Structure 1
Amino acid sequence: MSHWVYALYSEKHDKLYIGESADVDDRFISHNEKATKGWTLSYRPWRIIYREECNDKPSALIREKQLKSGGGRRFLRSLLT
């Protein structure tokens, strides 16, 4: 079953959020509308700036960790310019 790694950006707060999910569209709605607690709640609204399909959850978790590194965050920020 495929899994997704995604990055959200809050322009209002200049924040990045990087996560993984089997259903990135539902997870995005959760971050923007459904969540009643958690870190992302404070920085709404979010927009998806990056998504990448992985073969399985372990692969997605590895890629998520890469994107959370300094180089990964620089790559994601480069997509904003």
Structure 2
Amino acid sequence: MSFTTYIIYSQTLDRYYIGSTEDINERLIRHNNGNGSTYTKKAKDWELKWKREHETRADAMSLEFSIKKKKSRKYIEYLISKSNLE
């Protein structure tokens, strides 16, 4: 079992969202169906931009909070630029 820290982006809102989950595919569907967080309900065009796998939920959440604590769009875009998703 693995856990994922992820960054998704909505072009409609021009916003990023950082989260962590056990099932990234199911979680992305929930974000786009309005069943995600209050923050992501405002848009239906969220797409995965970055992810990192972890062995434990604690590690995934620790990285999530570390990224959020920086409050930096530049840092988020830096992580995405180093991603192999695209």
TM-score when scaled to structure 2?
A: 0.79
CA displacement at 1:66 relative to structure 2: 1.3
**Structure 1: runs of 5 or more not aligned:** none
Q: How many residues align?
A: 80
Partner of 1:75: 75
Q: Distance in 1 between matches of 2:59 and 2:69?
A: 16
Q: Is the 8 A contact 1:2 1:55 kept in 2?
A: yes
| RMSD after superposition | 2.2
In structure 2, how many angstroms separate the alpha carbons of the residues matched to 1:36 and 1:57? 18
Question: Which stretch shows the higher mean deviation, 38-47 or 71-80?
Answer: 71-80
Percent identity between the aligned chains?
26
SS across alignment from 1:68: helix
Pick closer, same or farther for the CA change 1:32–1:15 going to 2, 3 Å.
same
Which residue of the partner structure matches residue 39 of structure 2? 39
Unaligned runs of 5+ in 2: 82-86
Residue 76 of structure 1: how far off its partner (Å) = 1.7
- Runs (4 or more) in structure 1 with deviation over 3 Å come to none
Higher relative contact order by CA 8 Å / sep ≥ 6: 1 or 2? Answer: 1
TM-score (structure 1 length as normaliser): 0.83
